[in-house]
Chains A and B, each alone.
Chain A
Amino acid sequence: MSSPHGGARYEPFAGFDSVGGGSGRPPAPDARTVGLRAWIRDLALGARFAAGGGREGWTRTALTAVGVGLGVALLLLTAAVPAMMHTRDQKRVAREPSSAAYIAHPGASTLLSEETGTTYHGDGITGLLVHPEGPKAQLPPGVTAWPGTGRMVVSPALERLLASSPLLRERIPYPITGTIGHAGLMGPAELYYYAGSDQLVARDSTYHHGNADRIAGFGAHSNSAVMGPTFDLLLIVVLVVLLLPVAVFIGTAVRLGGERRDRRLAALRLVGADIRTTHRIAAGEALLGAVFGLLVGALLFLVGRQLASHVTIRDISAYPGDMAPNPALTVLIVLAVPIASIAVTLAGLRGTTIEPLGVVRQGVGRRRRLWWRLLLPAAGLALLAPLFGKVKGDVSLNEYQVAAGAVLLLFGVTAVLPWVVEAAVGRLRGGPVVWQLATRRLQLNSSSSARMVSGVTVAVAGAIALQMLFHGVDGDFVSSTGADTSRAQAVVNGEVGDSAQVASYVRSIAAAKGVSQVYGFARADATRPDASTLKRDETTDYPYLPVDVAGCPTLRQLARITSCAPGSVFLVPPDDDPYVHGDYVKFVRPGGLVDLNSPDSGAYHGKARLWRIPAGAVTAHPLPQPSGAQEWGVLATPEALGKAALSTPQAQITVSVDPKQPDAIERVRNAVAAFGPAVRMYTLHDTKEKSNYIQLRRGLYAGATLTMGLIGASLLVTMLEQLRERRKLLAVLVAFGTRRSALAWSVLWQTAVPVVLGLVLACAGGIGLGAALLAMVGGPFHVDWAGMGAMSGIGAGVVLLVTLLSLPPLWRLMRADGLRTE
């Protein structure tokens, strides 16, 4: 064992003939010559530290892995979103009837189809009435056999829904002959059916006089709606705001146990580890945590994906198989997370020198400098500033510039935070014991507390900015419909033969239980009396003069009418649209002639069907309709028209239901469904939003929930780790006779102080970013104080909750044999 050194060891002057050449013994292999082996050894050693070290070490690594894993799962989910969207889009397009060109005659592969949607208890149900005209007609995706006439194939979710709701079964009564497979559905919760029908009549070349389209098959090429640069801006900012806290969080997670690690590395320095070796060991530790984190993240993602298939968020569901992370992004995550964790670890070590005697913090005694921290947000602002006022119309946005600017601005908040905490805490002295304990601890190591709340800070700042932006651009995407939902809840319209048919529709709707009021009229168009003599080509302008036909009670709903009897006619001038007003003044007057054969597209067809407006027609003022529209033109009782035939009259029925009968609207839908596919029903809403914008908002809410949950989890993890690191001190304080409640309060203060500072900073940063974003879209500066309060409140609430959750472990730590450590 005590292998004697070479005999020369004990001789005088041994080794001194080689002064400068080092020891006379075989030289210790140095880092350069060992190279790769040293790397592997040190990384393995670091991994050993991360994995070994008893319960303590395991717990810390597990916490890190869970922390990183949560972040990775969220990243993977995000990486799956583009593919998911793509798959959904593809599936959607694949089942859309292809309508490249009008097909006049049935062929071997043509089919007739008509979409017939309905809504049941707020869930949208899509149905397609189909009728194959030839043996080679293409089946829709996911369907293996045509449903026979009067039968249908349904999605599994619809099958379940039908089985459980007789009311809906009444509306969709067809016997079920099969189910639609994955290929034909966007998600497991989708409600979809294909029903065979022999009632379908192909529309003519002007898309009139029929109730179905003749199509060549399924699979259309549709380009999705372009939303413009403001939408892109929103999308980018949403992604930044959701993902940045995740990045910050991963950075925090891999730094867990930093103090212990520093002590450990110092002990290794003493037995001869050089600085590079300690860095490699630290890298190894971080690497193992990150790799475990990746595994945990992958697991969480896979499990979550399975669970997600049972969850429907606002009509959106997805098959697990469709949520496949983009391979390139996955590779990026798998590489970036370990590399980033090593980079964060090494960056954290840069400010400190691990010396054999312990850790020398170079920052000690020297105050943090502010200027480079301010450089970050300044740089972010500099990137965004050139775009001020430019984001509108069709300009294409430089996504990278926006993303980089937003990221820098938000990162600036986290960079400034440690300085703010240090500057603020440095002045605190005195106070009660609990306060003193908390502030002194913060003074000693303010950066770890600052780091702990930086995730919350970024999230809140981002949310505030987003809220400001959303608020500022709401007008672009949400428009008021003018509908008065207190007066009516639905309108029904569709092609009818004549006004008598409208009256029968109104009667059957009125018969449905829960309907409180219903009225309807037949709307037809008229045009100038000499229309048939004008040059018949596409450029001829035919004035549009609406003629609404209904009984007196209905007419009273449309205009201010004093007396009405069968045969009455009223003339309602248009609001103040100068264009139609001119036509109205010219052709609509008592005793005037109009042509009821109005051309509905381009050229005039057929012969004129002239009708003279009775000389007794009275001018009346319109009444605003629940749908938000105002009727104008000729309001006539059926008797006034006599035998004159209307051309393509449309039913316009307004329905109000008893709000106390929740199923009333469903019964109306059932009644309307019986009228056939040509008649549609719409429920009324106060506002109308563009659907992509809605999706984005929903995504934001879902993402924000996830992010806040994640941050809460991260806080808990860091808090527990901090408590573990301070276990000895806590034990000493308990030994002194410090009351536990006092310690709990000091822990709370210790968290609360940075949180409050962080939230103040978050508000400032959020308003700054929000103002910059608003300036980009040219919106007026506006601070949503309520929203800001809510966001800060949520942030503070998360911290409070986490502190409360960390109390039981704190109790346990203080009770246990805390004094015996190391």
Chain B
Amino acid sequence: MTAATEPLLLATAVRKAYGPTAALDGADLTIRAGEVVAVMGPSGSGKSTLLHCLAGIVRPDSGEIQYRGRELSAMSDGERSALRRSDFGFVFQFGQLVPELTCLENVAMPLRLSGTKRRPAERQAAEWLERLEVADISGKRPGEISGGQGQRVAVARALVGDPRVVFADEPTGALDSFNGERVMRLLTDAANDTGAAVVLVTHEARVAAYSDREIVVRDGKSRDTERVS
């Protein structure tokens, strides 16, 4: 990756404890524009916590997280929500789709929340569904589709708002290897096209192989391969 690019996300000495357990104990990392970074590590090491901190949906106890030079914890809830609408996208293992809405409406939701009118928002959403090869299920609800289709809908939703960073936490966790790789391929291709960075939490090497580099989290401490070298 071009070392000259200024970091998009910069985390320094991030700590987060849930009661007595320290989920993060001094994590450092750098994410640059357009790169795909795999976050790896054993179960319970704090990967998800790190991801949530980076995305500003969990407030760290100490340490700094800067997004494009702005301190996340200094932002208001409204600002961070706006950031999630306009700059971030999310793909989780499951449960992030709104069960009451059709797939099309789910994908259009970030745009609508940012103030786009329904029609243009849904047109854009339909294009993304087509691109992720799930145009046929756009009228169905999340309860009526398969896990792989659901993940692709989630990817479409993560990317529809043209984000700078996509946060993916075990996006293929519930899928078989074939479907998992298809989702990964669609995700990284689309991210490449739009220039979005991807922070990808996974413990599957073959999924991590879609990244440009990896960050290892162990016992709440992260080793950024870029910083080590």
Chain A residues at the B interface, C-beta cutoff of 8 Å: 1-5, 9-10, 12-13, 15-16, 19-20, 22-23, 25, 27-31, 34, 37-38, 41, 45, 48-49, 52-54, 56-57, 260, 263-264, 267-277, 355-357, 820-822
Asked whether B195 lies within 8 Å of A10 as measured between CB atoms, the reply is: yes
Beyond A19-B69, A263-B95: 10 further Cβ-contacts under 8 Å? A5-B162, A15-B69, A28-B86, A271-B109, A272-B83, A272-B113, A275-B77, A275-B81, A355-B57, A356-B84
Asked whether A821 lies within 8 Å of B195 as measured between CB atoms, the reply is: no
Instruction: Tell me whether A821 and B143 are in contact in the complex, defined as CB-CB below 8 angstroms, given that A3-B162, A19-B70 are known contacts.
Output: yes
CA distance A822 to B153 in the complex (A): 14
Chain B residues, CB < 8 A from A19:
68-70
Residue in B131, B141, B143 whose CB lies within 8 Å of A1: B131
Interface residues of B in 66-117 (CB under 8 A from A): 68-70, 77-79, 81-88, 90, 92, 94-101, 109-110, 112-115
Asked whether A276 lies within 8 Å of B143 as measured between CB atoms, the reply is: no
Residue in B78, B92, B143, B162 whose CB lies within 8 Å of A2: B162
Asked whether A12 lies within 8 Å of B115 as measured between CB atoms, the reply is: no
Instruction: Tell me whether A271 and B84 are in contact in the complex, defined as CB-CB below 8 angstroms, given that A9-B195, A28-B115, A29-B115 are known contacts.
Output: yes
Closest-CB distance, A809 to chain B (whole angstroms): 19
Instruction: Tell me whether A268 and B115 are in contact in the complex, defined as CB-CB below 8 angstroms, given that A274-B78, A822-B99 are known contacts.
Output: no
Interface footprint category on B: 35 or more
Instruction: Tell me whether A5 and B195 are in contact in the complex, defined as CB-CB below 8 angstroms, given that A28-B82, A357-B57 are known contacts.
Output: yes
Closest-CB distance, A4 to chain B (whole angstroms): 8
Asked whether A271 lies within 8 Å of B85 as measured between CB atoms, the reply is: yes
B62 located at the interface, meaning its Cβ lies under 8 Å from any Cβ of chain A in the complex: no
Closest-CB distance, A76 to chain B (whole angstroms): 31
Closest-CB distance, A2 to chain B (whole angstroms): 5
28 contacts between A and B (CB under 8 A): A2-B162, A4-B194, A9-B195, A10-B34, A13-B6, A16-B6, A28-B85, A28-B86, A29-B114, A34-B115, A41-B112, A48-B100, A48-B101, A49-B101, A53-B141, A269-B57, A270-B57, A270-B96, A271-B85, A271-B90, A271-B157, A272-B83, A272-B85, A272-B88, A272-B114, A273-B113, A275-B77, A357-B52
CA distance A48 to B81 in the complex (A): 22
Interface residues of B in 146-179 (CB under 8 A from A): 157, 161-162, 164
Closest partner residue, chain B, to A267 (CB atom): B98
Asked whether B100 lies within 8 Å of A270 as measured between CB atoms, the reply is: no
Instruction: Tell me whether A23 and B86 are in contact in the complex, defined as CB-CB below 8 angstroms, given that A5-B162, A16-B6 are known contacts.
Output: yes
Q: Tell me how many residue pairs across A and B have CB atoms closer than 8 Å.
A: 138
Residue in B81, B100, B127 whose CB lies within 8 Å of A273: B81
Instruction: Tell me whether A57 and B100 are in contact in the complex, defined as CB-CB below 8 angstroms, given that A34-B115, A41-B112 are known contacts.
Output: yes
Closest-CB distance, B134 to chain A (whole angstroms): 15
Instruction: Tell me whether A12 and B4 are in contact in the complex, defined as CB-CB below 8 angstroms, given that A267-B95, A268-B113, A271-B85 are known contacts.
Output: yes
Asked whether A1 lies within 8 Å of B57 as measured between CB atoms, the reply is: no
Most A C-beta atoms less than 10 A away, residue of B86, B92, B99? B99
Instruction: Tell me whether A822 and B143 are in contact in the complex, defined as CB-CB below 8 angstroms, given that A28-B86, A277-B113 are known contacts.
Output: yes
Instruction: Tell me whether A822 and B95 are in contact in the complex, defined as CB-CB below 8 angstroms, given that A270-B90, A277-B81, A356-B84 are known contacts.
Output: yes
Chain A residues, CB < 8 A from B87:
23
Residue in B68, B82, B193 whose CB lies within 8 Å of A16: B68
Asked whether B58 lies within 8 Å of A357 as measured between CB atoms, the reply is: yes
Asked whether B84 lies within 8 Å of A12 as measured between CB atoms, the reply is: no
Chain B residues, CB < 8 A from A275:
77-78, 81
Asked whether B98 lies within 8 Å of A264 as measured between CB atoms, the reply is: yes
Asked whether A272 lies within 8 Å of B162 as measured between CB atoms, the reply is: no
Chain A residues, CB < 8 A from B128:
1
Asked whether A272 lies within 8 Å of B115 as measured between CB atoms, the reply is: no
Chain A residues, CB < 8 A from B141:
53-54
Chain A residues, CB < 8 A from B190:
2
Closest partner residue, chain A, to B57 (CB atom): A356
Chain A residues, CB < 8 A from B83:
272
Chain A residues, CB < 8 A from B21:
none
CA distance A671 to B87 in the complex (A): 97
Chain B residues, CB < 8 A from A52:
100-101
Chain A residues, CB < 8 A from B131:
1
Asked whether A1 lies within 8 Å of B127 as measured between CB atoms, the reply is: yes
Residue in A10, A38, A268, A356 whose CB lies within 8 Å of B109: A268
CA distance A821 to B143 in the complex (A): 6
CA distance A268 to B81 in the complex (A): 10
Closest-CB distance, A381 to chain B (whole angstroms): 41
Closest partner residue, chain A, to B85 (CB atom): A272
Closest partner residue, chain A, to B140 (CB atom): A54
Closest-CB distance, B66 to chain A (whole angstroms): 10
Closest-CB distance, A25 to chain B (whole angstroms): 7
Closest-CB distance, A249 to chain B (whole angstroms): 25
B5 located at the interface, meaning its Cβ lies under 8 Å from any Cβ of chain A in the complex: yes
CA distance A821 to B144 in the complex (A): 9
Most B C-beta atoms less than 10 A away, residue of A23, A34, A38, A269? A23
CA distance A5 to B99 in the complex (A): 31
CA distance A355 to B52 in the complex (A): 11
- Of all A-B residue pairs in the complex, the 9 with the closest CB atoms, nearest first, are A272-B85, A53-B100, A274-B81, A272-B84, A356-B57, A29-B115, A19-B69, A28-B86, A2-B194
Closest-CB distance, A281 to chain B (whole angstroms): 10
Interface residues of B in 37-81 (CB under 8 A from A): 52, 57-58, 68-70, 77-79, 81
B33 located at the interface, meaning its Cβ lies under 8 Å from any Cβ of chain A in the complex: yes
Chain B residues, CB < 8 A from A273:
81, 85, 113
Chain B residues, CB < 8 A from A31:
78
CA distance A54 to B105 in the complex (A): 14
B220 located at the interface, meaning its Cβ lies under 8 Å from any Cβ of chain A in the complex: no
Interface string of B116-146 (1 = CB under 8 A from A): 0000000010011001000000000111000
Chain B residues, CB < 8 A from A54:
100, 141, 143
CA distance A355 to B79 in the complex (A): 14
Closest partner residue, chain B, to A41 (CB atom): B112
CA distance A49 to B102 in the complex (A): 11
Closest-CB distance, A259 to chain B (whole angstroms): 12
Closest-CB distance, A276 to chain B (whole angstroms): 7
Asked whether B82 lies within 8 Å of A272 as measured between CB atoms, the reply is: yes
Closest-CB distance, A81 to chain B (whole angstroms): 40
Chain B residues, CB < 8 A from A1:
124, 127-128, 131
Closest-CB distance, B99 to chain A (whole angstroms): 5
CA distance A821 to B94 in the complex (A): 12
Closest-CB distance, A661 to chain B (whole angstroms): 69
Asked whether A22 lies within 8 Å of B101 as measured between CB atoms, the reply is: no
Residue in A4, A28, A267, A356 whose CB lies within 8 Å of B114: A28
Closest partner residue, chain B, to A821 (CB atom): B143
CA distance A556 to B57 in the complex (A): 100
Closest-CB distance, A221 to chain B (whole angstroms): 62
CA distance A19 to B99 in the complex (A): 38
Closest-CB distance, A530 to chain B (whole angstroms): 99
Asked whether A274 lies within 8 Å of B193 as measured between CB atoms, the reply is: no
Residue in B78, B142, B162 whose CB lies within 8 Å of A276: B78
Closest partner residue, chain A, to B112 (CB atom): A41
Closest partner residue, chain A, to B76 (CB atom): A274
Asked whether B110 lies within 8 Å of A272 as measured between CB atoms, the reply is: yes
CA distance A2 to B164 in the complex (A): 12
Asked whether A271 lies within 8 Å of B82 as measured between CB atoms, the reply is: no
Chain A residues, CB < 8 A from B84:
269-272, 356
Instruction: Tell me whether A15 and B68 are in contact in the complex, defined as CB-CB below 8 angstroms, given that A1-B131, A272-B110 are known contacts.
Output: yes
Closest-CB distance, A536 to chain B (whole angstroms): 94
Chain B residues, CB < 8 A from A30:
78, 82
Closest-CB distance, A124 to chain B (whole angstroms): 58
Closest partner residue, chain A, to B80 (CB atom): A274
CA distance A269 to B193 in the complex (A): 27
Asked whether A269 lies within 8 Å of B81 as measured between CB atoms, the reply is: yes
CA distance A426 to B152 in the complex (A): 43
Chain B residues, CB < 8 A from A41:
112
CA distance A53 to B142 in the complex (A): 10
